[in-house]
Amino acid sequence: MGACRKDKDDTAPTVHILYPAAGSTVNVPDTITIGVHVEDNEGVEQLTVMLTDSEGLPVGPIALLDIHSASAQVQVELAITSERLESGNYQVIARASDGENDGRAFLDLWLLGAPLRLRSIFLVPPAASSPPYTITRIDSTGALSTWATTSELGGTAIDLDHIYLAGESTQPLVRRRISNGSSTTLLANEGVPGAPLPFFHGLDANGHDSRTYVGTVTGALRGFNAQGNGVFNATSPIGTYSELSAVIGNYVVSIARNAVLGTRQTINYAHNSGATLGQFPFDLTPVALHTSGGDHLLAFGNRNGDGVIQERNVEAGGVYEMQVLSGTEIGSVARVDEYTFAVATESGVLRFERPGNSIQLLAPLPGAGAIVFDKTSGSLLVGVGDQLIRIDPSTGVQLDVLTAPTAIGGILLQSNR
């Protein structure tokens, strides 16, 4: 007696991408028309077509087609519309399955991203002003409107889709969607009404790792990813709290302040685990921290009424005091490019060049407080009282002025990517 037995199918489908031509340029937004030929000795069941980035992640819709044929030639259209896609090399992947084996074909394309554009400017009142605090939005047409009002203002930060608002003694840390105002609580406020220090400190949406960091007066330093999930948890030394933090190489560097003694130190934490890796003295009231090479940071701060710029070796703790602004304190700092910084001070806006360690008056704007660099226009936005002044970062020439409904303590920019 005999029995029928089907041999195991070890042959993968063959896949060929017929068009577009390899190396073709696709402008965003656009629809890519892709021609694919597939065949298989046992029959192709399904075909999947997608556009992926350098890490193999899909960057748009995925087309899934039922074939159920030994061979077929199909045409697929992929709409690529996200303005967050940057110019660069991307890859079309066509994957055919016969139910047991997969066959693939690849095609490289050059994607030309949409121009960088400014979607909104948010003006935040000074934390030292009286509540309620009104956040004003300037949309892409220049129209002003009230975006939000809050009773406490312990810090603000922005990413592509959200504004983060930290309370002081009672209000939590929330993540509020810009498009519709819906809020998600990220961290409860464990403060006590009337306490001498706010509960949250150093709120910052970090562009280097797409995390948002915040310190608490209880000593915690927390980090949240772009989806709002907690992904970093570190603890400051006993009796201290994180005033400000920055990502430098593989470290999260925090400025920790002793609430009783008033002394400060830098704490190096492992970026992945939050483990403490190093501690060094720090003698400034911190204003801003920026990277300066792989293992150095530029610290901008104040000491005894003077503004100070230091370069610090993160791993070894060495300090090079670059500039001391006698009798002039630093209010805020904007990075223009890798080597150039705009520094808002009581006497005006200064331009600091890291190569050559040079500093000069860029614009005589007494009382300059908040300052940011607008990459979309290549200009600086400076808050002076209730005036929002746009200046050229090279010449200091004023380009335009807008009067805000309130004094400006912070400026948040929302771009399309």
- pLDDT for 2 equals 46
Kindly state whether residue 318 falls inside one of the protein's structural domains. no
- pLDDT for 196 equals 87
- pLDDT for 162 equals 96
pLDDT in tens, the chain (417 residues): 444 445 677 899 999 999 999 999 999 999 999 999 999 999 999 999 999 999 899 999 999 999 999 999 999 999 999 999 999 999 999 999 999 999 999 999 999 999 999 999 999 999 889 999 999 999 999 999 999 999 999 999 999 999 999 999 999 999 999 999 999 999 999 998 878 899 999 999 987 899 999 999 999 999 999 899 999 999 999 999 999 999 999 999 999 999 999 999 999 999 999 999 999 999 999 999 999 987 899 999 999 999 999 999 999 999 999 999 999 999 999 999 999 999 999 999 999 999 999 999 999 999 998 999 999 999 999 999 999 999 999 999 999 999 999 999 999 999 998
- pLDDT for 7 equals 63
Cβ atoms 38, 32 nearer than 8 A: no
**Residue that is last in its domain, among 243, 266, 282:** 282
Cβ atoms 363, 348 nearer than 8 A: yes
| 395 and 345 both lie in a single domain | yes
Kindly state whether residue 165 falls inside one of the protein's structural domains. yes
| 129 and 106 both lie in a single domain | no
Kindly state whether residue 293 falls inside one of the protein's structural domains. no
- pLDDT for 208 equals 83
Burial of 356 (0-12, 13-18, 19+ CB in 10 A): exposed
Cα separation, 278 vs 260, in Å, equals 22
- pLDDT for 1 equals 40
| 68 and 132 both lie in a single domain | no
Kindly state whether residue 214 falls inside one of the protein's structural domains. yes
Kindly state whether residue 313 falls inside one of the protein's structural domains. no
| 123 and 161 both lie in a single domain | no
Cβ atoms 232, 221 nearer than 8 A: yes
| 100 and 121 both lie in a single domain | no
- CA separation, residue 150 to residues 132, 173, 292, 415 (Å): 6, 12, 36, 24
| 121 and 227 both lie in a single domain | no
Give CA angle at 215 (210, 220), nearest 5°. Answer: 110
> What's the pTM?
0.88
| 136 and 197 both lie in a single domain | no
Cα separation, 253 vs 276, in Å, equals 10
Cβ atoms 203, 192 nearer than 8 A: no
| 206 and 275 both lie in a single domain | yes
Cα separation, 13 vs 17, in Å, equals 13
- CATH number of 412's domain: 2.130.10.10
Cα separation, 287 vs 301, in Å, equals 5
φ, ψ for residue 77 (rounded to 5)?
A: -115, 125
| 158 and 271 both lie in a single domain | yes
Kindly state whether residue 2 falls inside one of the protein's structural domains. no
* Ramachandran region, residue 195 (left: φ > 0; alpha: ψ -120 to 50; beta: rest): beta
Kindly state whether residue 106 falls inside one of the protein's structural domains. yes
| 200 and 276 both lie in a single domain | yes
- CATH number of 103's domain: 2.60.40.2550
| 160 and 249 both lie in a single domain | yes
Residue 20, preceding bond cis, omega within 30 degrees?
A: yes
How many domains, in total, are found in the chain? 3
Q: Which domain holds residue 92?
A: 14-112
Residue 218's CB is within 10 A of a number of other CB atoms, namely: 11
Kindly state whether residue 335 falls inside one of the protein's structural domains. yes
| 103 and 122 both lie in a single domain | no
Tokens matching residue 252: 């999260």
